[in-house]
Structure 1
Amino acid sequence: MNFKFKQSGYRFEAYNEENVSTFEKLFDIFKELITYTSGDFDEAIDWLKALDKEYNLTTEDYTIEDFIEDLKKKGYIKEEIKPDGGNKISITDKTEQAIRKRALEQIFGKLKKSASGQHETSKKGLHGEPSGDLRAYEFGDALDRISLTESFKNAQSRQGLSNFNLTEEDLVVQDSYHRTQMSTVLMIDISHSMILYGEDRITPAKKVAMALAELITTRYPKDSLDIIVFGNDAWPINIKDLPYLNVGPYHTNTVAGLQLAMDLLRRKRQANRQIFMITDGKPSCLKMADGTYYKNSAGLDPFITGKCYNMAAQARKLNIPITTFMITSDPYLQQFVDRFTKSNKGKAFYSGLKGLGELVFRDYEQNRNKRMK
C-alpha cells in the first residue's frame, strides 16, 4: 500500500508488480518454499532454481546467486561452519519473523476482504480505547487510526519538503490498549497421517499457527499464545520453532495434548482461556501409568475415546472451551468429534485445508470479543 503525495492531498496508489524488484519477487517465493521445506535452506533454493528454470524468474543481470548474496547482506540468512568443516546456511530470526508476517497477510488479509464464512468479522476487537501514544503502523491497523500529520512529518524529514512519497514506513497510528486478555493454547497434530494420502496437511497448520502468533503479538500483546504439538506424546514449542516443524512416525495421543494444554492454562491469570485443536485423525494412542503406550489405529477405540471425553468434560468444568478444527471430512470420525464437542460444550469445524486459516481467525476474534464483554 502506498500513499502518493500531491499538492491537492494524497491518494492510494494501486500495487504494481512492475515496481517490485527481482529480489522482492524471489523473496516472496522463498518465504513460501522455506515454510514448505521446514526451514531447509538448501532444499528451498533447489526448488527456487527449478521454478526459475521453468518460469524465468531471474535475468542475466540478477541471478539466484545474486539473490543469495542479497539474503546474506540483508541479514535473512547466516553461514556457519559444520563439524566436518563444510558450510551450512540457515535462516535467521529476521526471516522467521518475515515468514510469520507473510502468513498473517495471506490469511488475515484475505479474511478482512471476504464477506463469506461461518462467522462475521468483528472490528471491535482490533481497536480498543486510544492510549494517547503513537507507534509505527503495523499490518491490520485500521486506516482511521493513522495520524496523517505525524506521518507526513516523517516523510518530509526523510525526503524533504517537496515531491515526497508517503510510504508505509512513514505511517504512525494512534495506539490503543485493551482492558482484558485472552489465553489461548493451539494444539497441532503432528502424527504421520498429516502427510499421508498425498496431501500436505502440516504446512497449512504451520502457517495458521505462525499467522495467529503474529496477530497476537502485534495486535493483542497482552494476550498469550502457547503452541503444543502432539503425536505419541505432547510437548510445547516456541513460536520461533514453527517454520521447522515436521511430522513424525507417531500415532495420535489427543489426551496427552489436552492434559498439557489444560496444565498450561491453569497457570494463566487471565479469566478468559481457550483451546484450539487442529487435527486430521482419530485418537489412537494413550500413555499408560507404567510408561508404556497403548495404541490402536483400527477404528475408534472406546478405551481411548472415553479418556478424550473425560478430558473434554474436565476442561468444561474449568470454563475452558475447546474448538476442534477437523481437517478431514470422514463421517466416521465426525461421530467422535461431535460427542467430544458435546462433552465440552465447545465447537467443531470440518473445514478441510482450504478454509482452515479463515476459520481459526474468525473464531479467535469471535471468541475474544464474546468473552471480553
Structure 2
Amino acid sequence: MLGYRFSEFVPEESGQNADFESLLKIFLQLVTITGGDVSEALAWLNNLDKQYNITSDEYGMGNFIDDLKGKGYITDENPEGRFEITGKSEQTIRRSALEEIFGKLKKSGKGQHKTFYSGSGDETNTDRREYRFGDTLNQISMTDSLRNAQINHGLGDFRITEDDLEVMENEYKTQTSTVLMIDISHSMILYGEDRITPAKKVAMALSELILQKYKKDTLDIIVFGNDAWQIEIKDLPYLQVGPYHTNTVAGLELAMDLLRRRKNPNKQIFMITDGKPTCLKVGIKYYKNSFGLDKKILNKTLNLAAQCRRLDIPVTTFMIASDPYLKQFVQEFTEVNNGNAYYSSLKGLGDLIFEDYRRNRRKNF
C-alpha cells in the first residue's frame, strides 16, 4: 500500500478577484501617498498601467474602478460627485500598514502588557498559593485542591476545607497612554524625499496595533508644524505636510496636556521628526529661525523635556535624518528627558517604534 503522498500546495488564481486584490494593494499605497486623493491615485495607477501593463484585456481599469465602488472602497455620493475613500478603505489601509511594518508580530491572548506583580489580576500564570478571602471561584485550582484534600484527610474521611484550597496566581496588567507626535513641516518632503508617507504608515500601523492587540490602552495623535493640533485615527490617510516650520514646543505642550487627562500611571510620547525645532509662538506672533539651532527655541524645548522627565513621561524621538548637528540636538534633548532616541532610515522606522513601544510598556508601578 502506497499510502498518502504530500506535495506543495499551489492554489489556483481566482481570475478577476486575484486581479482586483493585486490592484487594490497598489491603489491603497497610492492613496496613502496622495493624502486620500482618489482621483490622483487613480491617475497614477493609470500611468503605471501604461508603463508596466498591470491590467489585462479581461480585467481593465474600468472594471477595477467599478469593483472599488461595488465593494465599498470608494464612493462618489457627495455634493461634488467626486470619488472619496470610505471607512472600509481607511481601515484596510491601517491593516495593510500594520502588516507591512509589524508583519512579524505574533498573536497573543488579551493583548494588554504585563507587570512583575501578581495577585488578583487579569491573566493566570503557573504560580500557586493558598486561598485568601476575596479570591474568586475561577481562580481555584481544583486538581491541586483535591490532591491536598486527599493528602490531608485521606479517602476514608474525604472532605475539602479552606486550608486545602490552592489558588492560581494572576498577573496584574496595566494600561499605557501614548501620544504620537508627527512632524508635518515642509522639510518632510524637502529635496524630493518623501518622509511623510513612512511616518503616516507607522502612525496607522501603531494605531491599528493598539486597536487590535492593546484595546485597553489609549492613543492620541498630534501633528505639529507652526502650531500643533490633535487628529483622529481616521484622518491619518489624508495627512499632508504644509508650508510650516517645526514648532516642537507646541507639540510637546499639547501632548503633556492630553496625558494629564489620562488617569493611568503609564504615559509616554513618541515623536517622529526629521529636523530640529525652528519655530516658537510668542504671544500671537511666531518666532522662526531655520538656520542652525536657535538658542531661544532650543532652551524652551529642553525645558519641556525636563518637565516631561519630572512627570515621568519618557519621550522617544525617531529622527528621520542623519545630520551631525541634528543628532547633537536629539542627544541633548534625550539626555535632559532621560528618554530614548533612534536615528533611522525610512525603511527601519516601523520596527524601531514597535520595539520601543513594547519596551516602554513593560514598567512597574
Look up the match of 2:219.
225
Which of 232, 239, 248 does residue 245 from structure 1 map onto? Answer: 239
Q: Using the TM superposition, name which of 261-270 and 44-53 deviates more.
A: 44-53
Cα distance change on mapping 1:13 and 1:195 into 2, 3 Å: farther
Cα distance change on mapping 1:286 and 1:89 into 2, 3 Å: same
Aligned pairs for 1:160-309 within 5 A: 179-289=173-283, 291-309=284-302
Cα distance change on mapping 1:124 and 1:300 into 2, 3 Å: farther
The CA deviation at 1:366 is: 1.5
Q: Distance in 1 between matches of 2:243 and 2:234?
A: 23
The 3-state SS of whatever aligns with 2:192 is coil
1:71 equivalenced with 2:65 (yes/no):
no
Cα distance change on mapping 1:300 and 1:15 into 2, 3 Å: farther
Q: Distance in 1 between matches of 2:265 and 2:232?
A: 23
1:62 partner letter: Y
Which of 355, 358, 362 does residue 351 from structure 2 map onto? Answer: 358
1:260 partner letter: L
Identity level (%):
63
Q: Distance in 2 between matches of 1:17 and 1:249?
A: 49
RMSD between superposed Cα atoms in Å: 2.6
Cα distance change on mapping 1:75 and 1:253 into 2, 3 Å: same
Structure 2: any 5+ residue segments left out of the alignment?
115-121, 125-170
| Alignment deviations for residues 221-268 of structure 1 (CA, whole Å, 9 cap, x no partner) | 100100000000000000000000000000000000000000000100
The 3-state SS of whatever aligns with 1:185 is strand
| Alignment deviations for residues 153-211 of structure 1 (CA, whole Å, 9 cap, x no partner) | xxxxxxxxxxxxxxxxxxxxxxxx98311100000000000000110000000000000
Q: Distance in 2 between matches of 1:331 and 1:41?
A: 39
TM-score by length of 2: 0.79
Q: Distance in 2 between matches of 1:59 and 1:239?
A: 36
Cα distance change on mapping 1:41 and 1:309 into 2, 3 Å: same
The CA deviation at 1:352 is: 2.2
- 8 A Cα contact 1:181 1:222, kept in partner: yes
The 3-state SS of whatever aligns with 2:177 is strand
- 8 A Cα contact 1:125 1:368, kept in partner: no
Q: Distance in 1 between matches of 2:63 and 2:213?
A: 36
1:41 equivalenced with 2:34 (yes/no):
no
| Alignment deviations for residues 20-66 of structure 1 (CA, whole Å, 9 cap, x no partner) | 61011111111111101110001111111111122222111211111
1:103 equivalenced with 2:77 (yes/no):
no
2:39 partner letter: D
Cα distance change on mapping 1:70 and 1:282 into 2, 3 Å: same
Look up the match of 2:320.
327
Cα distance change on mapping 1:123 and 1:309 into 2, 3 Å: farther
Cα distance change on mapping 1:127 and 1:298 into 2, 3 Å: closer
Cα distance change on mapping 1:220 and 1:81 into 2, 3 Å: closer
Q: Distance in 2 between matches of 1:330 and 1:272?
A: 32
The 3-state SS of whatever aligns with 2:342 is strand
Look up the match of 2:55.
58
- 8 A Cα contact 1:125 1:365, kept in partner: no
Look up the match of 2:310.
317
Aligned pairs for 1:79-118 within 5 A: 79-83=76-80, 87-109=81-103, 111-112=104-105
| Alignment deviations for residues 67-96 of structure 1 (CA, whole Å, 9 cap, x no partner) | 11111111111113445xxx2010000000
- 8 A Cα contact 2:111 2:215, kept in partner: no
- 8 A Cα contact 2:48 2:54, kept in partner: yes
The 3-state SS of whatever aligns with 1:80 is coil
| Alignment deviations for residues 273-303 of structure 1 (CA, whole Å, 9 cap, x no partner) | 00000000110110012x1011111110011
Query: After TM superposition, which residue ranges in structure 1, 4 or more long, deviate above 4 angstroms?
Result: 11-17, 122-131
Cα distance change on mapping 1:215 and 1:13 into 2, 3 Å: farther
The CA deviation at 1:98 is: 0.1
2:306 partner letter: A
The 3-state SS of whatever aligns with 2:318 is strand
1:283 partner letter: P
Aligned length: 306
Structure 1: any 5+ residue segments left out of the alignment?
1-7, 114-121, 132-176
